[in-house]
Amino acid sequence: MRWGLQMKIVDLNPNPGSKARLVGYLHDIEKESMGNRVERPCVVICPGGGFEILSPREADPPATAFFAKGYHVFTLYYSIREEASELRPIMDISLAIAKIRENAAAWGIIPRQIAVCGFSAGGYVAASSGTLWNHPKLLEADGSQDGQGRPDAMVLCYPVITAGEFAHRGSIERLGPGWNEAEREAAFSLENHVTASTPPAFLWHTVEDASVPVENSMRFAAALRRAGVPFECHLYQNGRHGMSMCTTEVNSRDDHLATWFPLCLEWLSRQFAFEY
């Protein structure tokens, strides 16, 4: 990988109870030529894949894009398939954020400027970290009562949000096998878990999305609005599901949809007062 900047790589398992991997790309504070920055914000990428796979198109491409703009970046390869049951992916992200905060000083990360960026099913994982962060199971998992697993901002890209009429059934069934409809509705409709303590969010979705209906983002945005949580939501008229960075690299070039990334950077810079 060539960014023209010095970096170091961190590779660890944030959750001993799963097979999750957290791979970090960190700017080298001592060697990098732009030595005017000692601490930086961080973005944690959660690729999609319906809890069946972890899409490489939604892993390295967004990670390298955020890194090139000056952010420290981690990619979370969370639990999938049978390993995804019992809410393990949500525990994976909670523990990952807590681990990053624990090592913030050593890694040059501003501890209260950690954003999550999730695509599709990874959007569910990311949004869960911001809505279920004070769930008793997660507080027990990260060993604290002070929300160390809560992100400071969320970037949700065509996210899986709801278990209701507009659910992406495959994702929800992976997380709750054997649960009845009422149990899934209560546990997996994240729009019902938004409160004033939910972190700010940036969302984008295409109206034509035939896999994860646009109502997933619309319902979440409406819930954020009701709770008074700052958010920005961009709904594009055209475009299929899974566009990732909307570039040739990910085989889905669309210059109009690709505007989501600069819009996201501008939004994040306002949240974190960070000049990229």
Report pLDDT digits (tens) over 236-259: 999 999 999 999 999 999 999 999
Give the three-class secondary structure for 269: helix
| pLDDT tens digits, one per residue of 178-236 | 667 677 677 779 999 999 999 999 999 999 999 999 999 999 999 999 999 999 999 99
| pLDDT of res. 1 | 36
pLDDT level of residue 143 (50, 70, 90 thresholds): low
Pair 45, 232: CB distance under 8 Å: no
CA dist 165 and 169 (Å) reads: 10
For the chain, count helices (H), then strands (E). 9, 8
Element (H, E) at 215: helix 215-227
Contact present, 59 and 106 (Cβ < 8 Å): no
Instruction: For residue 76, give the 3-state DSSP assignment.
Output: strand
pLDDT at 42: 97
- Between CA 44 and CA 234 the distance in angstroms is 21
68: helix, coil or strand? helix
Domain spans, the chain:
9-272
Residue 3: per-residue pLDDT: 42
**What 8-state DSSP symbol labels residue 133?**
T
Residue 27's pLDDT band (boundaries 50, 70, 90)?
very high
Q: Which of 207, 200, 206, 183 is nearest to 272 (CA)?
A: 200
pLDDT reported for residue 4: 44
Q: Which fold has domain 9-272?
A: Rossmann fold (3.40.50)
Q: Is 0.85 topped by the overall pTM?
A: yes
Helix (H, G, I), strand (E, B) or coil at 163: coil
| pLDDT, greater one: 168 or 223 | 223
pLDDT digits (tens, 9 = 90+) for 62-90: 999 999 999 999 999 999 999 988 788 99
Look up residue 198 and give its DSSP letter.
S
Question: In degrees to the nearest 10, what's the CA dihedral of 239, 240, 243, 247?
Answer: -50
